[in-house]
Amino acid sequence: MSIKTFWYLTQADGDFPWSPGGLYPVDGRRQIELATTIDEGGFEGALVATWSNDPFLSATWAASHTSRMKFLVAVYANMMPARLLAEKALTFDAFSGGRLMINSVNGRDNILTKYDMNVEHDRRYELGEQYWADFRRYYREGTESNFPNTPLRVDSADGHTVPLWGTGDSPAGLENSGKVLDAYLVMSRETSFVKEKFDGARAAAAAAGREFSDFGALSGVIVRPNRAEAVERFRSLFEKAGIDQITDVLDKAVRRRTGGTQDLATFTARDAQRQGWVDTIVGGKLPEPEDLYIGDSLYAGITAWSPLDIFGTGSSAVYYVGDPDEITGHVHDLQDRTGLTSLILAGWPLIDEAKQVAEHLIPRLGTRRA
């Protein structure tokens, strides 16, 4: 069974978008170039995340310039009325040929409170279950003109539905996933971690009398024709950011997480490897790539949305780093051991790295080895 590979479609782009001066300005033309690179490169589609841009509008903009790729659009449950979202989804699918998918996001307090969504964590899952049930019902029913003399309707094509993807780690989140989602996602980690998460999700779905259609994992990727070139590019993520920038970001993260009771210099990591990263950085040096290897072809790195994971709490800042055969071999082993069906990958600059993946990984991930 081949692996469906998705990329990221986001304005969080640049040579090193986690550093001052490394982030590209918002540019609709570059979004079109990125979308066409994904569309023509053999990717299944792209995740359109919730950044400062509106993900639905970003997907609509890109869909008008592409023909094949699917759009996994991040949506917060209850952010807009379910009927309104269904109308948007019906219109998008009618114009794009049914290429919409939704990434159901439960959200964090610091984000949702900006929109006056002051609901505690587990209660959001309860409300989300009803929200997505309503959305699906409205989508199936279609939408018709508000003017009785114009018998215009927009209906789903031949019973088509919009797949709901998402995740859930807490007991409430896992239960919700089993009841609501069509596909379950995790942040990439070692194989044993992914297997445990997928097994828990399968059990939750079985308890609800359901099954998932897909199991996906998210990570960064740096693939090059030879391993040495890939590792050198990975090293440059840290070198371009610089020790001062990395120290500052991690120090702020520690202060934020500990309510100001600790800083980076006094922080104690949960394991010896991560403590080694902290000690090296506090000492004014950058960790070497081999020190950042966490197993199964994965390295702890930096992304546009996550710093180096010194906390060990499930950050998305991990990368596959290596040559095409090395990375493909691990992904296929992961598939065999966990039931993985999909990957959502990212690398920066997004257009350049998408071309590397399209050339070196997509053909291999689409074909199983003998």
In this structure, what are the phi and psi dihedrals at residue 104, rounded to the nearest 5 degrees? -75, 120
Report the distance separating Cα 13 and Cα 304, nearest Å. 8
Q: How confident is the model at residue 53 (pLDDT cuts 50, 70, 90)?
A: confident
Secondary structure string (H, E, C) spanning 202-214: HHHHHHCCCCCCE
pLDDT tens profile 13-31: 999 999 888 999 999 999 9
CA distances from 306 to 159, 310, 330, 340 (A): 39, 11, 23, 23
309: Cα separation from own chain's centroid: 16
Q: Is 319 helix (H, G, I), strand (E, B) or coil?
A: strand
Summarised one tens digit per residue, pLDDT across range 58-106 is 999 999 999 999 999 999 888 899 999 999 999 999 999 999 999 998 7
Q: What is the pTM of this model?
A: 0.94
Please give the share of the chain, as a percent, with pLDDT higher than 70. Answer: 95
Please tell me the predicted confidence (pLDDT) of residue 369: 41
Q: Which residues pair with 143 in a beta bridge?
A: 154
Q: Which pLDDT tens digit goes with each residue over 100-126?
A: 999 998 766 566 666 666 667 677 788
End-to-end CA distance of the chain: 12
What is the average pLDDT score of the chain? 92
Which contacts of 53-61 are long-range, i.e. CB under 8 A and separated by 24 or more positions? 53/10, 53/11, 53/26, 56/88, 56/92, 58/9, 58/10, 58/11, 58/31, 59/9, 59/92, 59/100, 60/92, 61/28, 61/31, 61/32
Instruction: State the Rg of the chain over Cα.
Output: 21
Helices and strands (DSSP H and E) totals, the chain: 13, 13
Q: Give the pLDDT confidence score for residue 115 in this predicted structure.
A: 61
What is the arithmetic mean of pLDDT over 219-237?
Answer: 97
Coil/strand/helix, residue 117: coil
- pLDDT higher for 116 or 227? 227
For residues 316 and 141, the model is more confident at 141
User: pLDDT confidence of 45, banded at 50, 70, 90?
Assistant: very high
- Structure token digits, residue 51: 């950044």
Residue 35, pLDDT > 80, answer yes
